[in-house]
Amino acid sequence: MCLGENNAPQCSHYLNAQLNALYENSVGCVQRHGNGLQPDQGHRYSFALAEYYHGKHRRGQASKADMMFYAAFDKPRLDFICNHDAILRLTIKEGHYNTEFTKGAINPANADKNKTFSNVEVAFRVPFSVTGIRGQDLKLGDGDNVINLLVLEFTKAHLVSVAPELEAGRSALSYYLLEYLQLLQNSGNHVLFSLPDFDDDRRRVTIDFSANSQALLDIDEI
C-alpha cells in the first residue's frame, strides 16, 4: 500500500495474485488426481478453476466427447472498471461445446454435434461488493480489526465478448459458461481478500476503482 494515493492498482494486483494462486492449486490437483475424464464429486470443486466438464459420460468407453461441454482453462484475470463491476477474463486453452445445448445434460452428448475450439478468451461483466469481518484480537493490535472481502456475484454475470468470435457458437458458449460460473460460486471461488490493513496508524487505505479505471475493454456493452 502507498499512503496518500489511490491503492486501486495495488488492490487489483493483490486480488489477481490470490486468484492465480487458487488457479495453480487447481492445476496441481488435476495433475495429481485427474484422468482426462469428468472428476468425481469429491474433486469437482477442486478442479473448477483449471477444468470444467458439463454432461454425462456414456457407459463403457468414456471420453471427453461424451460431455456437452469441456474446457481446460489458463489463468483467469479480473479487471476492475468501477466500484461495483469487474471484467472476468477466462482463457480457454482447449475444449468443445455441443450445439444441442437446449437438450440439457442428462444424457451423453451426440459427438457429431460437438464443435472444438482453442485459445479463446471470453469476458464477463460481473458485479461485486465489498464486505468486512470485524473483530478484536490482541495478537493483531489494540483496536478493532476488519478483514475486508471482495465478493463476486457470478450468478449475475453476463457475457460481453468472445475472441476470436465463434461462428454460430456464442449462444451455446454463453449457456455453458454461465453454468460454469455457477460452479465457481458454489465452490467458493467468488470470495477474495482485499488489501490487509492491520497497522496502528488508524488511517484507512483508499481504494477507488472508478477513479483508476481506464478504457480496459473496447466493448459496446460497458
Within the chain, strands assigned E span: 51-55, 67-73, 77-80, 85-98, 114-135, 145-152, 158-163, 191-193
Q: Is the pLDDT of residue 148 over 70?
A: yes
3-class DSSP state of 169: coil
**Backbone torsions φ then ψ of 141, nearest 5 degrees:** 145, 180
Task: Quote the CA–CA distance of 92 and 81 in Å, as a whole number.
Answer: 22
104: left (phi over 0), alpha (psi -120 to 50) or beta: left
Can you name the residues that pair with 159 across neighbouring β-strands? 124
Integer angstrom CA distances of residue 160 from 148, 174, 217: 28, 10, 10
More reliable by pLDDT, 221 or 133: 133
What are the φ/ψ torsions at residue 61 (nearest 5 degrees)? -85, 75
- Residue 4, phi-psi category: left (phi > 0), alpha (psi -120 to 50), beta (remainder): left
User: Which residue would you say has higher pLDDT here, 108 or 159?
Assistant: 159
pLDDT surpasses 90 at 219: no
> Which residue(s) pair with 117 in the sheet?
95
Size of the chain in residues? 222
Rounded Cα distance, 46 and 39, in Å = 9
Distance CA 50, CA 214 (A): 29
On the question of pLDDT at 189 being above 70, the answer is: yes
pLDDT at 142 over 90: no
Residue 77, number of CB atoms within 10 A of its CB: 19
pLDDT beyond 80 at 81: yes
Taking residues 199-218, what's their average pLDDT? 70
User: What number is the average pLDDT over the span 42-61?
Assistant: 91
| pLDDT score at 201 | 62
What is the grid cell recorded at 87? 471484467
What is the rounded distance in angstroms from the CA atom of residue 217 to the CA atom of residue 81? 9
Average pLDDT, the chain: 88
C-alpha 153/C-alpha 191 separation (Å) is 9
> Rounded to whole angstroms, how far apart are CA atoms 20 and 201?
31
